[in-house]
């Protein structure tokens, strides 16, 4: 019994170490790498406008989508998450990108927390997430579409928790994050009904 408890503690410490190492790598040169892309820059301008004027660049108080530089319609959910950070800490590339880092870490830790009962699986899932180039890049680079897969992943974990525990608030969280994933990127509307 003691060996099982010590093994669980060791696994937890290792998971915590990996998460902190990953977080430090995510934050390394976050303001300069990658360089700001035109979509990210226009998204930054929309967020700045929301923070300082309460309206988007087109003067709308509660936009459903942003118009975007080329009329491409960027989604609003990430902007709404970034506004409080910028109001509290001021505008910078770091404060604009920080909510994305925290959102990705929350997703990873949520998936790992679901699989924690099965130690090998949780460690495997963590390693898969932490070594995925797409997850790493999307954590550091804010494009409006990056929130949709994160919200979708979180919704599936809440659904799995609900199936195991039968707590109604978990079903509500599933619905909330599933709806947020639909609102997070219009291309998701193609596969979400499936």
Q: Could you give the CA distance from residue 94 to residue 86 in angstroms, rounded to a whole number?
A: 10
Q: Could you give the CA distance from residue 193 to residue 145 in angstroms, rounded to a whole number?
A: 18
Phi, psi for residue 57 in degrees, rounded to 5? -65, -20
The structure's pTM equals 0.86
15 has pLDDT over 70: yes
Residue 166, by phi and psi: left (phi above 0), alpha (psi -120 to 50) or beta? left
The more confidently predicted of residues 153 and 71 is 153
Cα of 151 vs its chain's centroid, Å:
7
- What's the pLDDT score for residue 5? 65
Which H or E run includes 82?
helix 77-89
Q: What confidence tens digit (pLDDT) does each residue in 21-74 have?
A: 998 999 999 988 888 888 888 889 999 999 999 999 888 888 888 876 666 678
- What's the pLDDT score for residue 50? 94
The pLDDT confidence band at residue 158, using thresholds 50, 70 and 90, is very high
Calculate what percentage of the chain has a pLDDT beyond 70: 92
- What's the pLDDT score for residue 166? 94
Q: What confidence tens digit (pLDDT) does each residue in 111-150 have?
A: 888 887 666 677 788 888 888 998 898 888 888 788 999 9
- What's the pLDDT score for residue 103? 94
């Amino acid at each position: 019994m003691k060996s099982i408890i010590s093994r669980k503690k060791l696994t937890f410490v290792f998971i915590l170490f990996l998460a902190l190492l990953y977080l430090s790598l995510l934050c390394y040169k976050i303001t300069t790498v990658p360089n700001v892309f035109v979509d990210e820059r226009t998204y930054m301008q929309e967020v700045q406008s929301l923070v300082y004027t309460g309206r988007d660049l087109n003067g709308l108080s509660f936009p459903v989508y942003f118009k975007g530089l080329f009329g491409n319609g960027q989604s609003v959910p990430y902007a709404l998450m970034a506004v409080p950070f910028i109001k509290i800490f001021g505008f910078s590339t770091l404060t604009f990108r920080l909510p994305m880092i925290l959102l990705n870490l929350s997703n990873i830790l949520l998936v790992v927390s679901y699989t924690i009962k099965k130690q090998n699986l949780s460690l495997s899932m963590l390693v898969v997430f932490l070594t995925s180039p797409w997850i790493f890049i999307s954590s550091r680079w804010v494009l409006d579409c990056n929130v949709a897969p994160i919200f979708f992943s979180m919704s599936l974990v809440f659904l799995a928790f609900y199936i195991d525990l039968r707590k109604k608030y978990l079903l509500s969280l599933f619905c909330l994050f599933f709806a947020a994933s639909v609102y997070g990127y219009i291309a998701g509307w193609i596969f979400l009904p499936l």
